Homo-oligomer: A and B are copies of this chain.
Amino acid sequence: MPQHTEFIPPAGGIADCPLCQTAGGEIVWSNALARVVLVDDPAQPGYTRVVLHAHHAEMTDLPAAQRTALMALVWRVERVLRDVLQPDKVNLAALGNMVPHVHWHIIPRWRDDPAFPDAIWAPARREPASDEARLGALGRYREALAAALDAGAAPA
């Protein structure tokens, strides 16, 4: 679906905002509101972000309908991530201290990942696991994610 995966800088973007000027990861899917991107992080294979196209700093800067639509994407990502990658836990976060442009982190966590059970932003306790099965599932995850988002079905 190449029409879904090309980054087009949004009109009215901020010149020095990385998420106005770049995709912020490999685009798996996008619609008029937001894009879903894969983050290349070997420590957390499957790390995904939902990035609002428009430049707003906080969720409460958005109209309620946009908040709801954005979170519906987050839940769909979480559902597919759990189904395909079967992490021990999912972490969700919208921080934006460095890039104050609304984006959600959907992070699969495993008991043997570097910082577990701390947040991934805490110091690592161990080296990244080299789990071939986990890395090998990434292709299936990308496909399932695009398919689920195309289908538009919200998790029950």
Contacts and interface: CB of A to CB of B under 8 A. Distances in A.
A112 to B, nearest CB: 13
A92 B89 contact: no
Given A97-B119, A119-B119, A60 B89 contact: no
Contacts of A67: 71, 75
Contacts of A97: 89, 91, 109, 116-119
A58 B71 contact: no
Nearest to A89: B97
Nearest to A117: B97
B123 A92 contact: no
A156 interface: yes
A57 interface: yes
Interface string A140-156: 00000000000000111
A156 B117 CA distance: 36
Nearest to A79: B60
